[in-house]
Amino acid sequence: MYRLAAAQLDQTAERMGLDDNIWERLRTPQRALVVSFPFRRDNYATVDTVFGYRVQHLLTMGPTKGGIRYDLDVDLGEVTALSIWMTWKCALMALPFGGAKGGVRIDPHSLSRSELQRITRRYTSEIIEMIGPDTDIPAPDLGTDEQVMAWIMDTYSQQKGHAVPGVVTGKPIEIGGSHGRREATGRGVVTCLLEACREIDLPPSGASMVVQGFGQVGAAAARIAVQHGAKLVGLSDVSGGVFAPGGIELAEVDRHLAESGHLRGLPGTEPCTNEALLELPCDVLIPAAVQNQLTEKNADRIRARLVVEGANGPTTLEADAILAERGVTVVPDILANAGGVTVSYFEWVQGLQQFFWSEQEVNDRLIRLMQRASKDVWGVSRQRGVGLRVAALMRGIERVAEAKRRRGIFP
Ligand code: NAD
């Protein structure tokens, strides 16, 4: 993943004629911390060694900001790539943050609630010198949620001796979270989807849609897109995919998930693998699970007209080229899933002011910022004759480069 993030930067920097010195600086993170710690299982006899990471890519723009993921694939390269994308995302959205990311190499689904809490508290105490409301502010990502953020906030606050809600975003509302944060990434995905539909003359109402991943991002995106008239025909989670050309009822999905905990066996649908799901005939495909899903192996079989990247890094460079050649429009991750960090920014601002907004206010502001960024990226793409990904990267990178030039070099 790091190689993908670096190659995207290189490709864009070359096209932009970016200053070599700034280019070189942006290829590597400013700070990276790797920790290992003992973790006692509920049975008390077993103690595992667990690895955790926190990477801050760029400290030029303000505090750093980025999620924490719990996943077995987490490593330094992955977390670094994600921190680099956070930098471009924040700059593209004109948010006053640099990029960061963190992660713990565990399978969160194999842990009890108390195990998850112990890991979270120990990981927080291991990275405590790096995070803080003015320095580096974590948020939820793959495998983490509001509850994990609440434990991080509590652990940090215990060490400081007073409540510090601003140390994380994506918190529960009761401890300073923002209305609308839970659905923010999905709402941003759908705002970009609607903007793209307008650009490519695809009526969103009645458009058939496939969503990979039914977590925080995928579930919210599916729900909001359906409210705009899209027809959900395929859906998946880690257990596999389901499809129904006549449409999948979200109420039925909720009922089935509450009973079984997974999508497999959803009544009224046919089963399919996650690989086959991506190749289903549809107008819109939303990868909202994990990275490296659209590759040179399957890009020529993707039948969607429009791909909106809910996940980070779902498309490889090779697949990008194949999809572009085939006329498939890809709305890139750093734009499409920027709704999460945007409402995280709103949460941070509300916390600093101790003045909280209504859900309507949060959603309206989010949609306005997402539309502005979308139009900006489509405009750059047209003006400079580049694809949407390169256009979004150009916008982000040029803002960062200009800030670096203004600040100069110390000493
Ligand atoms: P999540 O843990 O809430 O949900 C992930 C979903 O993907 C689950 O349904 C899971 O079963 C499924 N999944 C996991 N592995 C899979 C696989 N190999 N194949 C198919 N499905 C799989 O995570 P999330 O927060 O929704 O994050 C999903 C993606 O969106 C990640 O790439 C994350 O970095 C990105 N993202 C998340 C946010 C956010 O606010 N949560 C913001 C921006 C980007």
pLDDT of residue 295: 98
Q: What is the pLDDT of residues 12-49, one digit of tens each?
A: 999 999 999 999 999 999 999 999 999 999 999 999 99
Q: What is the pLDDT of residues 240-273, one digit of tens each?
A: 999 999 999 999 999 999 999 999 999 999 999 9
Band (142; pLDDT cuts 50, 70, 90):
very high
Measured distance CA(31)–CA(54) in Å, rounded: 8
H helices present in 18-75, as ranges? 20-26
pLDDT of residue 106: 98
Q: What is the pLDDT of residues 101-134, one digit of tens each?
A: 999 999 999 999 999 999 999 999 999 999 999 9
Cβ atoms of residues 347 and 356 within 8 Å = no
Mean pLDDT of 212-227: 98
- 101 annotated active-site: yes
Strand order from edge to edge, sheet including 98-104: 31-40, 47-56, 98-104, 64-70, 136-140
How does the average pLDDT of the chain come out, rounded? 97
Measured distance CA(333)–CA(392) in Å, rounded: 9
Ligand 1 atom showing the smallest separation from residue 82 Cα: 34
Among 65, 101, 231, 404, which one carries the catalytic annotation?
101
pLDDT of residue 343: 98
Return the structure tokens found at 291.
């990275």
Top mutation candidate among 171, 290, 347 for ligand 1, by most atoms within 8 Å of CB: 290
Which residues lie with the beta carbon below 6 Å from any ligand 1 atom? 140-143, 185, 212-218, 236-238, 274, 288-290, 310-312, 337, 340
Measured distance CA(365)–CA(226) in Å, rounded: 21
Top mutation candidate among 82, 110, 141, 275 for ligand 1, by most atoms within 8 Å of CB: 141
